Structures are given as structure tokens and as C-alpha cells.
Amino acid sequence: MFKEIRLDQIAANPEQPRKYFDEAKHQELVGSIQENGLLQPVVLRPVEGAAAPYMLIAGERRWRACRAAGLEVVPAKVIENIDEERAYVLSIAENVGREDMTIMEEAGAYADLAAAGWDAIKIAKQFGKTETHIKWRLGLLTLREEVSAMVDKGDIKPNLAWHIAQLNPGNQMVAATRYVRGDFDSESDAQHFANGLKMMEKQTTLTNEKAPDAEEQEKRKKAKAKAKDGLGQAEEVLLPLLEELAEKKPEDLAVILGDDLSRHVKVVGKIYSQVQLVRNLLSKAQGIQRAMTADFNKAAVEVQQETAKDKEGAAKEKTETKPAAKKTAAKPAAPRTKTAASAGAKSPARKAPAQKQTAKGGPAKQAKETPKADTTATK
């Protein structure tokens, strides 16, 4: 049974799992309500001691649109004697599966239930989902904010988003940006790239592999040559045969192949199965190779930045040291210049040899004779 409840008596649920409301769809609903009224009632629960006597369990989007449309009352289903956890479960149930509920909002809602003690099996049973679906949604909560926004916008699909979520924050941006930029031929290729980055993070034998010895190098060389020869034969023999068969009409093949038709179906089926398997393996290998290249490039940039930093520090230290050296060298020169000028005679450097050659008492005698010679010169 429904009641007519005034809009000003209804408060929004602060724990509402949906946080994003599309403006265009909101305006579309406003127009529909203005034209036809509210066709689906909102769901409320009574609350005591609050400013508004009722709180929304389900229907916040409709409630918002009714206010915008100018309605004063809305039809509502009021559920009595319901606790907050049960109300929250009903709120999630009303929103899960709706097109306008984002993936990250769904993941956040499941996380709230998990925090309340619900396990993945119980959550899955409650909302008609598989346990894997719940776990994968919960796994998205490790995404950094920028990548979460890409997922909510639909730029990255849930399956790929889960693989990206397994990476550290820096590599999450690498994988997400490259996918959105269109660096990969398919979502599967992007997933293999993300898995390759994860292997780099775990420092598997791929990244720590020692340089192969001569014997190992020779083995790899032969394996590569064999694979190349095999692909060459496929291009020369198998592809032309398949292309020729593809040009025929089914009714023609039924006549041409006759009793051998069943054998062709089996052989081509086996070829198709192996091609799919090898294609998947090669795609994974390509993802690992790309991840290794990205990891190497990242390390190279870090080395370049560190080298540039060291050079800058060395140049700065040299600049600071050079003026100090000049100042130190200039200090001894100043006293010698001043002494020579004040004495008005030959410099001490020229007197030194005479002092060394003079016998005992020589320096004193020379010191007495020098003023006399100066006086005569003055006269």
C-alpha cells in the first residue's frame, strides 16, 4: 500500500551507493514526470529524531526529479521496522543492474557489505550474481582515481580493468593510458600487456635472466630459424590452399570434395584450433615483450635523470669551489707587494740569495751598509 508523502519530509540516504547522476537523463525524467506524473513510487523508511521523518531506501533519482519538476508530494512505499543494513541492501538491490549505476559504484556497494561481514558468496546470492562477479568487482577498488574515472566513463571495460587493478599505481597509468590511446589491436592484447607488467613487478626470471651463454644462443638461433621456416611453408602452401577453398561456394565444395569432405572438415577444424591456441600464446608473448620494453624504457629514463642530476651537482660544486681557490691564492701576494713598496728597495726574493752566501754576521753588516748606499743615491 502506498502513501502520499510530502517531498520536504523525505531526506536522501547519505549511504546511497550511487554517487553519480547523469544530468541529461535527469532532465529527461523531469520532463516525463511533468508530463505523466511519477509512475514508480519511491521506497522510504521512518527515522526518529531526524529533521525529516522519512529517509530514502530506493528512488533517489526519482525523488530528485520530482523536486525539479515542482511536485509537492510523491507516492511512496514505507517499510517499517527495518535496520540500516537491511535498508542498504535494498538500496543496492534497487540499483545493481541499472544502466546508470557505474561499475565503481557497484564495487563500492559490495565493499560496504563486505566490511559489514558479508562474504562474496552471500553477496552473490543476495543480488543474483556469481561469486566470481562479486570478487572481480571488489578487485577494482585498488584502481587509482584517474583509472577509476576511465572505467566509469566506459573507456575501459570491467575485464581489462580488473587486470589493470592488479598493478602498482604507476603501471596502472601506463596500461590504462596506452589502451585508451589505442596502442593495442584488441582488449585481449592490452590484457596481456598488463599481465606482462605484473610479471615485471614480481621480478620473474624474465627480468632477472642472465645473458645466455654461447650454447644457449645457438639453440635460440636454431629455434628461431625453424619457426621462420615453418611460417614460410604455411604462407607458401597452407594459406593459398585455404584461400582457394574460401573462394568456392558450399554447393561446389560438396561436389568437388565428395567423400573427402568430412576429412577436410576435421583437418581444418584441427588447424583452426591450433591457430587459435598459438594466436593466444603469441599475443601473451607480445604483451610480455611490450611490458619488458616499457620496463626497460622506464629504467633508462631513471638512469638518464640520475646521470643528469649527478652532472648538475658536479657542475654546481665546481662553480662554488673555483672562486674560493682564487681568493686563497691572492692572499700571500698582498703582503709581499706591500712590504716591497714600503721599503722602497729590492724585493725580498732578490735579497734571499745574498743572505744565504753571507758568512756569520754578514746579514747584519749588509743591513747597515744598505741604508748608506741609499743615502748616497739620494744625495
> Which residues form the catalytic set?
60
Main-chain dihedrals φ then ψ at residue 144, nearest 5 degrees: -70, 160
Give the integer Cα–Cα distance in Å for 155 and 103.
12
Angstrom distance (rounded) from CA 201 to CA 278: 26
Rounded to an integer, what distance in angstroms lies between the CA atom of residue 181 and that of residue 175?
10
Report the distance separating Cα 163 and Cα 175, nearest Å. 10
Residues facing residue 122 across a β-bridge = none
What are 366's three cell numbers? 749588509
214-to-209, 221, 256, 285 alpha-carbon distances in Å: 15, 10, 53, 24
Which residue in the block uniquely carries the three cell numbers 566509469? 152
Is 61:12 a contact under the CB 8 Å cutoff? no
Query: What does the alpha-carbon distance between residue 339 and residue 170 come to, in Å, rounded to a whole number?
Result: 69
